[in-house]
Amino acid sequence: MERATRYASAMIATPAWPPRSLQRLFVDTPLAAGVTVTVEAGQAHYLSNVMRMGAGDQLLLFDGVSGEWLAEIAEAGKKRVTLSVREATRPQERVPDLTLAFAPVKKGRVDWLVEKAVELGVARLMPVVTQRSIVDKLNLERMRSHIVEAAEQCGRTSLASIAAPVKLEAFLPTLDGGRRLYFADETGGEPAASAFKSGPATILVGPEGGFTPEEASAIRAAPGAIAISLGPRILRAETAALAAVAAWMAMVGDWR
């Protein structure tokens, strides 16, 4: 084959548009073509001073509901940047209807758990305080910024929500059987592979010290509750949470 032809056929297709290199920024205002968006404080500082962007520079914006949009900087000040939204670049993604209910574990580990759950496509995070929880409050601001950062860096258009922590005894009565509750029970349950069925679900994982026997029986009695085993080895709480989410995504989520 002629060298030129060989090169031509080897040429990669024109790079996907928009270029992957464009910055992505979450803005908490509804986006549409022609809309002017103003960002201030940290986001303005990031664009102007850190990324040294100015008028005419382009970036991608998403608002968590209407997909992703190409925007152009109209004016870049140190404390305030105005952008005009040009056109839609990607539709709003759909994520499976999966909630991860987790007993908050120690700082650092819980940050890791939240970030990985978001990457894996969890729709919502529900911190549940149990008797053996070492941690009973959560810095929701910090958690929300992890969620936004993960979405900005991983090309996501949807944002997982995170609720304020609730006690297990307040969480269980909210269950009405409309969604399955997969209770990760380290003392034994149905193998996840056969327990997981498609449909809206919540996965519940305990704290470092596990659930008390009273808690375990209260959970098993809840409507739609199924105790699942995550294999013969005891996993750390955050490992169990991510392993269960990944297995669910692979078996009945949107990895198929």
- Residues near ligand SAH (CB under 6 A) are 184-186, 205-206, 209-211, 229-231, 233-235, 237, 240
| Minimum gap (Å) between residue 69 Cβ and ligand SAH | 40
Cβ-based nearer residue to ligand SAH, 81 or 243:
243
CB neighbours (10 Å) of residue 75? 13
Question: CA quadruple 238, 240, 245, 249: dihedral positive or negative?
Answer: positive
Cβ within 8 Å of residue 81, ≥6 positions away: 38, 39, 40, 43, 44, 47, 48, 53, 73, 75
| Minimum gap (Å) between residue 110 Cβ and ligand SAH | 13
| Minimum gap (Å) between residue 211 Cβ and ligand SAH | 5
The answer to whether residues 224 and 175 touch, using CB atoms and an 8 Å cutoff, is: yes
Tokens 């002629």 correspond to 2
| Minimum gap (Å) between residue 116 Cβ and ligand SAH | 15
| Minimum gap (Å) between residue 199 Cβ and ligand SAH | 21
Cβ-based nearer residue to ligand SAH, 233 or 256:
233
Cβ-based nearer residue to ligand SAH, 60 or 230:
230
Cβ-based nearer residue to ligand SAH, 84 or 212:
212
Residue nearest to ligand SAH (CB): 206
Cβ-based nearer residue to ligand SAH, 151 or 240:
240
Cβ-based nearer residue to ligand SAH, 161 or 229:
229
Distances (CA, A) of 135 to 1, 17, 129, 130, 239: 66, 45, 8, 9, 17
Residue 230 is given by DSSP the state -
Burial of residue 10 (number of CB atoms within 10 Å: 0-12, 13-18, 19+): exposed
Burial of residue 238 (number of CB atoms within 10 Å: 0-12, 13-18, 19+): buried
The structure tokens listed for 65 are: 């509901």
| Minimum gap (Å) between residue 229 Cβ and ligand SAH | 5
